[in-house]
A and B are shown apart, each in its own frame.
Chain A
């Protein structure tokens, strides 16, 4: 991993020295291109759903794809970028889900909103939706902070075990808090029911896109570079003046925050929260997505979350054998691509565009040689 980063760095420095004649896209243009593409994706999606080309079943699956993309990308911050192995991501998801659902259910009554308002998207409902998600995210982030400070003193297996334990604590608290404290909040083993369905394709994907953008910009900033430096070599990073404890905790808390937001979306999408669904296996499921996509690659997480969410549904035709096929797909990928689908490679659309503008196409050899041949 260190080597590849080194070679990347060399490449980029070489490109910056030799590429004075190379055409470049300015930052506003880059943002514009990406923003337009995202807008096109969402508008086309909405239109196709509106016209019935994408059916309701597919819409629900797409919403879940969005939720799991956010889960995988947020776990990728801690796993791929920070280089730790937390196994308690489902715990943060459940904290966010419960907080967001309870917040919206209790505020809904005081604001006098009905389920219909969430469908039509009245301003008050939109505000409540955003506030609920933020509340869920912040609660999860607080949990992330509580667990992060002691846990990040440990590394590797030890960290995995302590985070695993913490997620179990969250699950057991959700299960017993009502009975022990004597009030009606989470519904205990019965689960939390009657959550209004406040998510749809549009708001799910808007939240996902905004979250991905925030994570991306954070990783490209000074703070993100510091986190990557800790992954590559913690001692070297500390020697260079990176405040490692601070940045490790920061990455962990940000990871928990976005998991909380994904949990909030999940609660609205399914309408029921039960502690049993957020056990160890859920954390593993998300970790599988990250590992399969390639640790440290955002596009990899997005792709594998998409594939692994759609795959079990697409394989319904195989009936009883579908879980076997699912497992076989996982094994095949891991055998032939042990570094994950994309490794640490991250795709940049505008970067590719630049290369195309400059005529650097994959099947063409570097310019000089082409000239010689011609």
Chain B
């Protein structure tokens, strides 16, 4: 073969092929880049959507968890071992979530904090059963997360049905006899809460005078409100996210409705006197919703958390931050219990089971209330009922203990 006969074009092509080959080998090695774990740190996987459409839910949870583990590490870690976080983005996509899960397992994490939104969390929960991997999700409220997962799946938040039931009890307690409902029929959250509310309302003798549905993206709710008001109910149940709820309350007040509005934790961020509000403080009088956390809660540990969070991130924590913080706490307590029980290798099958047992048997005093797991991965925790001051500031009306 005579090399001088290679033309420049062939040479360029050859170089192109070589470069492509080298590039792909880099890709392959990057894929397989697993790091050997050292035994003096505890590796915890943190996953969630940190980019994409639902990043506004994933990031605050991650910040809350980071804050907790930073505090733990500065206090000497768990059982004398520092915690090392392995944070992975899944863009809110179930496919990526499963990939991230497998990657985390390979990287040798002892437990996983996540996922955030429902569908990816269910996918991860299903995948984690075979490994018996301890997993605590901060905010995935869909019932299937725990139902489809095994004993290894826990959550720090309460479920959709629990909130619906709770608010029906609240309505009964306040003597609201007739209730109209307006909800987004296309959302799994809204539908789940509404169904549970109706079931419990029937038991408590509350009559549903009118049930009005709307589609995601609607902005004018006047026709639905008119139909509801024509039945003159004592209250309107509005279990929707704050953007829609703000419009519904404003439009209903304009039509002259002065009764109560009751809602669920989708209302978080509806009113912020220092920032953007979705309804005025005046309109929000006589409106109540349930939530696990409020930054205006006067409880000492909540205020401590709020000031710590402000110091680190320079903004007021939302309930997502608090749930991330509490999920981290649940996980850390479980790992601590496992270490106390004398397990040598947390990543082994025994170690994982010990962490799961630790979570299951432990009780955690989180910023969103006391969390324990009497039945399965659904927590028993207290709930706050939140109302509003005339200037729109949130105030805690009462704290409702967990009930079956």
- Residues of A bordering B, CB below 8 Å: 55-58, 60-61, 64, 175-176, 179, 188-191, 193-194, 197, 266, 269-272, 274, 276-277, 310-317, 319-320, 322-323, 362-364
On chain B, the residues within 8 Å of A269 by CB distance are 95, 98
Name the B residues within 8 Å of A179 (CB-CB): 185
Q: CA–CA, A189 to B119, complex, Å?
A: 10
Which of A55, A191, A193, A197 is the most central at the interface, judged by chain B CB atoms within 10 Å of its CB?
A193
Tell whether, in the assembled complex, residue B30 and residue A314 are in contact, meaning their CB atoms are under 8 Å apart.
yes
A193 and B188 contacting across the interface, CB-CB below 8 Å: no
Closest residue of B by beta carbon distance from A190: B188
Q: Which of B5, B50, B103 has the largest count of A CB atoms less than 10 A from its CB? A: B103
Q: With both chains docked as a complex, state the minimum distance between the C-beta of B395 and any C-beta of chain A, in angstroms.
A: 33
Q: Which of A56, A277, A322, A323 contacts B119 (CB 8 A)?
A: A277
Indicate whether B34 reaches chain A with its CB closer than 8 angstroms: yes
Pairs across A and B, CB under 8 Å, 21 listed: A55-B34, A57-B31, A57-B99, A57-B103, A188-B188, A189-B187, A190-B142, A193-B122, A193-B144, A194-B148, A197-B126, A266-B95, A269-B98, A270-B95, A271-B126, A272-B94, A277-B93, A310-B31, A317-B33, A320-B89, A323-B51
Q: Which partner residue on chain A sits nearest B34 by CB separation?
A: A55
B6 at interface by CB-CB < 8 Å: yes
Instruction: Contact check, B98 vs A362: say whether CB atoms are below 8 A apart.
Output: no
Say whether B96 contacts A312, CB under 8 Å: yes
Q: Is the CB of A175 within 8 A of B186?
A: yes
Further contacts, 4 of them, CB under 8 A, given A57-B105, A317-B30, A319-B87? A60-B102, A272-B126, A277-B119, A362-B13
Contact between chains at A320 and B10 (CB < 8 Å)? no
Select which of A193, A266, A276, A312 is within 8 A of B126 by beta carbon: A193
User: How many angstroms between the C-alpha atoms of A191 and B103 in the bound complex?
Assistant: 24
Complex Cα distance, B27 from A310, in Å, reads: 8
A189:B32 contact, CB within 8 angstroms: no
- Minimum CB distance partner of A266 in chain B: B95
Interface check B191, CB cutoff 8 A:
yes
Footprint of A on B, CB under 8 Å?
5-7, 10, 13, 27-28, 30-34, 50-51, 87-89, 91, 93-96, 98-99, 102-103, 105-106, 118-120, 122-123, 126-127, 142, 144, 148, 185-188, 191-192
Contacts A189-B188, A190-B118, A310-B31 given: A56-B105 contact, CB under 8 Å? yes
What is the CB-to-nearest-CB distance from A292 to chain B, in angstroms, rounded to a whole number?
14
B32 contact from A55, A188, A194, Cβ within 8 A: A55
**Assembly CA distance A47 to B192 (angstroms):** 46
Q: How far is the CA of A57 from the CA of B102 in the complex (A)?
A: 5
CB <8 Å contact, A274 and B191:
no
Which chain B residues lie closer than 8 Å to A271 at the CB level?
Answer: 98, 123, 126-127
Name the residue of chain B whose CB is nearest to the CB of A196. Answer: B126
Distance A266 CA – B88 CA, assembled complex (angstroms): 22
CA distance in complex: A56, B127 (Å) = 12
CA distance A98 to B122 in the complex (A): 17
**Taking chain A's interface residues, is the majority helix, strand, or loop, or is none over half, making it mixed?**
helix
Q: A105 to nearest B CB, angstroms?
A: 13
- Cα distance, A311 to B188, chains bound together (Å): 32
CB atoms of A272 and B27 under 8 A apart: no
Q: Determine the chain B residues whose CB is within 8 A of the CB of A189 once the complex forms.
A: 186-188, 191
Query: In the complex, are the beta carbons of B5 and A363 less than 8 A apart?
Result: yes
Given contacts A189-B188, A272-B119, contact A320 B102 (CB under 8 A): no
| Complex alpha-carbon distance, A242 and B364, angstroms | 74
Bound form: Cα–Cα A175–B127 in Å:
24
Q: How far is the CA of A81 from the CA of B87 in the complex (A)?
A: 43
Q: Specify which of B10, B148, B188 is in contact with A363 (CB 8 Å cutoff).
A: B10
Chain A residues in 8 Å Cβ range of B119: 191, 272, 274, 276-277
Least CB distance from A272 to B in Å reads 4
Closest approach, in angstroms, between the C-beta of B340 and any C-beta of chain A? 31
A189 CA to B186 CA, complexed, in Å? 7
Which residue of chain A has the shortest Cβ distance to B29 in the bound complex? Answer: A314
Q: Is the CB of B89 within 8 A of A319?
A: yes
A272 B186 Cβ-Cβ under 8 A:
no
Bound together, the chains give a CA A125 to CA B51 distance in angstroms of: 39
Contacts of B87 in A (CB 8 A): 319
State how many angstroms separate the Cβ of B67 from the closest Cβ of chain A: 19
Measured between beta carbons, the chain A residues less than 8 angstroms from B31 are 57-58, 61, 310, 313-314
| Nearest-Cβ distance from residue B160 to partner chain A, whole angstroms | 10
Q: Bound complex: CA of A319 vs CA of B88, how far in Å?
A: 7
Chain A residue contacts of B91, Cβ below 8 A = 323
Evaluate contact between B126 and A194: CB separation under 8 angstroms. yes
Asked if A363 meets B7 with Cβ closer than 8 Å, knowing A55-B32, A319-B89, the reply is: yes
Taking a contact as CB atoms under 8 Å apart, the answer to whether A61 and B33 are in contact is no
Residue on A nearest B3 in the bound complex, by CB? A363
From residue B194, how far is it (CB to closest CB) to chain A in Å?
A: 12
The interface centre, meaning the residue of A322, A362, A363 with most chain B CB atoms within 10 A of its CB, is A363
Task: Point out the residues of chain A lying under 8 angstroms from B103, CB to CB.
Answer: 57, 316
- Within the assembled complex, what's the spacing in Å between the Cα atoms of A311 and B26? 11
Task: Report the Cα distance A193→B31, complex, angstroms.
Answer: 29
CB distance from B63 to the nearest CB of A (A): 14
Inter-chain contacts of B50 with A (CB < 8 A): 320
Which chain A residue has the least Cβ–Cβ distance from B97? Answer: A270
Whether B94 and A277, one on each chain, are in contact in the complex, defined by CB atoms closer than 8 angstroms, is yes
**In the complex, A176→B188 CA distance in Å?**
11
A367 to chain B, nearest CB (A): 14
**Residue among A55, A64, A315 with most chain B CB within 10 A:** A55
**Which A residues are CB-close (under 8 A) to B95?**
64, 266, 269-270, 277
State the CA gap A320–B96 with chains docked (Å): 14
Q: By the criterion CB–CB under 8 Å, are A56 and B102 in contact?
A: yes
Cβ-closest chain A residue relative to B27: A314
Contacts of B98 in A (CB 8 A): 60, 269-271
How many angstroms from the CA of A272 to the CA of B6 in the assembled complex? Answer: 54
How far apart are the CA atoms of A204 and B88 in the complex, in Å? Answer: 27
Contacts of B191 in A (CB 8 A): 188-189
Give Cα A179–Cα B195 distance, bound, in whole angstroms.
12
Report whether A193 and B148 are in contact in the complex, using a CB–CB cutoff of 8 Å.
Answer: yes
**A270: chain B residues within 8 A (beta carbon):** 94-95, 98, 123
- Min CB–CB distance B40 → chain A (angstroms): 24
- Distance A191 CA – B122 CA, assembled complex (angstroms): 10
**Pick the contact of A57 from B5, B93, B106 — CB < 8 Å?**
B106
Report which of A274, A276, A363 forms a contact with B6, defined as CB distance below 8 A.
Answer: A363
Could you tell me the distance between the alpha carbons of A273 and B276 in the complex, rounded to whole angstroms? 36
Which A residues lie within 8 Å of B89 (CB)? 319-320, 322
Q: Determine which of B28, B88, B120, B122 lies in contact with A316 in the assembled complex, contact meaning CB atoms within 8 Å.
A: B88
Q: Which of A57, A276, A316, A322 has the most CB of B within 10 A?
A: A57
* Inter-subunit contact B122/A55 (CB<8 Å): no
Note all chain A residues with C-beta closer than 8 A to B188: 188-191
Please give the distance in Å from B125's CB to the nearest CB on chain A: 9
Contact residues in B for A64 (Cβ distance below 8 Å):
95, 99
Q: How far is the CB of B62 from chain A (nearest CB, A)?
A: 11
- Give the residues in chain B near A277, CB-CB below 8 Å: 93-95, 119
Task: Determine the residue in chain B with the shortest Cβ distance to A310.
Answer: B27
